[in-house]
Amino acid sequence: MGKHILIGAAVGLLVAWLLNVNILAGLIIGGAFGSIIRILLEKRTEPSETLRLHEEELDITKKRVQTGEVKIHHEVVDDQKTITIPIKRQEMVIEAANEEELRIPIKEEEIEIRKRPVKVNEVSVSKHQIEKIETITEKLKKEVADVEVKGEADIIKNGDN
């Protein structure tokens, strides 16, 4: 008991001498400091056993998975069209009294068909992000301390004096 006070007083005396302060004040302060250290050391408790408690936590992650596929393509479909077009042609009418030979070219219109692509429509494809909220319920395990007392054992809970 006294050795802590003596050590504190000696340290206080040394500090007072180094700082050029009143030696008696250093002696008293050092003794008080030694008493405080003695009280703190006496309050030390024996090492206790500890029980580690664990509990589960949820670790939630999200990943993208393919849930479907949309395939868009164009297809060529045959469509038959019938169009009526008037055609002109020349006819030769010859009225001659003599037997002379006449040559006159005769012409007629001929149908010429050409095909060309014409844009008639556009199809637009886009994706939209839609967000929905899902609620997940999961049971988690948690360890709790269960204290069983046999006989007359004093139990002091943290926070109780």
User: Concatenated DSSP letters for 63-96?
Assistant: --------------------------B-------
- Residue 23 located in a structural domain: yes
- Residue 14 located in a structural domain: yes
Burial group, residue 8, by CB count within 10 angstroms (0-12, 13-18, 19+): buried
Domain of residue 19, residue span: 2-42
pLDDT number for residue 159: 52
The type of residue at 124 is S
- Residue 17 located in a structural domain: yes
- Residue 134 located in a structural domain: no
Instruction: Give the residue, 98 or 25, on which the prediction is more confident.
Output: 25
Q: What is the tally of structural domains in the chain?
A: 1
pTM value is: 0.35
- CA quadruple 79, 80, 85, 91: dihedral positive or negative? positive
- Residue 35 located in a structural domain: yes
**Rounded Cα distance, 98 and 122, in Å:** 69
- Residue 7 located in a structural domain: yes
Please provide the average confidence, as pLDDT, over all residues in the chain.
Answer: 83
